[in-house]
A = this chain, B = another copy of it.
Amino acid sequence: MGIHYYFRSLNDLERIIRCPGKFKFEQHSVAAHSWKVVQYAKTLADIEERNGVAIDWKKLYEITSSHDYGEIFIGDIKTPVKHASPELRLLIQQVEEGMVYQFVEEHIPEAFKDTFHRQLREGKDNTVEGLILEVADKMDQVYEAFAELQRGNSEKEFIVMYRNALTKISSIPLYCVDYFMNDILPDMVNDEVLSPIDIKKITEEALAIGKSRSLKS
């Protein structure tokens, strides 16, 4: 028993791949995803503060960094199960929460149990911190799905993920959501999609430069 077992287990989330089974040009671990959520949430909370909203940074820190810890036990299976039926999704959530609870009871020292039960709970409540976590989590789905679509991945999974994540984000009443929709998303879409690559033209320009030199003369 000891916190060592928690720290050691974090490594497992470097080996859990998001969207297992689906073809992806690029794989993302739950650990790397969690870190990006922490980063997005930091800037989203900055934007809320600039608009006069008070942020509980300790709470935000706790819920963003640990929000997918339960996937150590059941993997990243919620999305496809969610598509299947609400009942199945509920069953899965019960399994995940049950295993996290058991882990804390079994491995975490008595003095820290309350803290870990609180930190590893589902953080997406209706507080501003819970909403920021929801936005940040969905933002990473937007970034991941967008990159797959842009590279030519035609798995329907990613179209659905991209659309659902954008729709969910846009429904959340936060200042940072306005900023994301108005300032970040347009940059993302314009930057990437509108720059078709014309290899032939680039080559011809280089060839033109090459021809205009007077070789060894």
> 1/0 per residue A136-165: CB within 8 Å of B?
000100010011011111101001001100
> 1/0 per residue A22-34: CB within 8 Å of B?
1101101101101
Assuming the contacts A207-B170, A215-B178, asked whether A8 and B188 have C-beta atoms less than 8 A apart, the reply is yes
Determine the chain B residues whose CB is within 8 A of the CB of A72 once the complex forms.
21
Pairs across A and B, CB under 8 Å, 29 listed: A3-B43, A7-B143, A8-B143, A10-B36, A11-B23, A11-B147, A15-B21, A16-B21, A20-B75, A31-B36, A32-B32, A38-B38, A74-B75, A75-B75, A81-B95, A88-B94, A109-B183, A150-B199, A152-B197, A162-B199, A166-B202, A166-B203, A166-B207, A173-B213, A177-B210, A177-B215, A178-B215, A189-B199, A193-B199
Assuming the contacts A84-B102, A199-B149, asked whether A210 and B183 have C-beta atoms less than 8 A apart, the reply is no
A26 touches which one: B23, B74, B92, B216 (CB < 8 A)?
Answer: B23
* A10, B39: Cβ atoms closer than 8 Å: yes
Chain A's interface: helix, strand, loop or mixed, by majority?
helix
Once bound together, how far apart are the Cα atoms of A92 and B73, in whole Å? 12
Assuming the contacts A84-B99, A150-B199, asked whether A42 and B16 have C-beta atoms less than 8 A apart, the reply is no
**Which residues of A are interface residues toward B (Cβ below 8 A)?**
2-8, 10-17, 20-23, 25-26, 28-29, 31-32, 34-36, 38-40, 42-43, 46, 55, 57-58, 60-62, 65-66, 72-75, 77, 80-81, 84-85, 87-88, 91-92, 94-95, 98-99, 102, 109, 112, 115, 119, 139, 143, 146-147, 149-154, 156, 159, 162-163, 166-167, 169-171, 173, 177-178, 181, 183-185, 187-189, 191-193, 195, 197, 199-200, 202-203, 205-207, 209-211, 213, 215-216
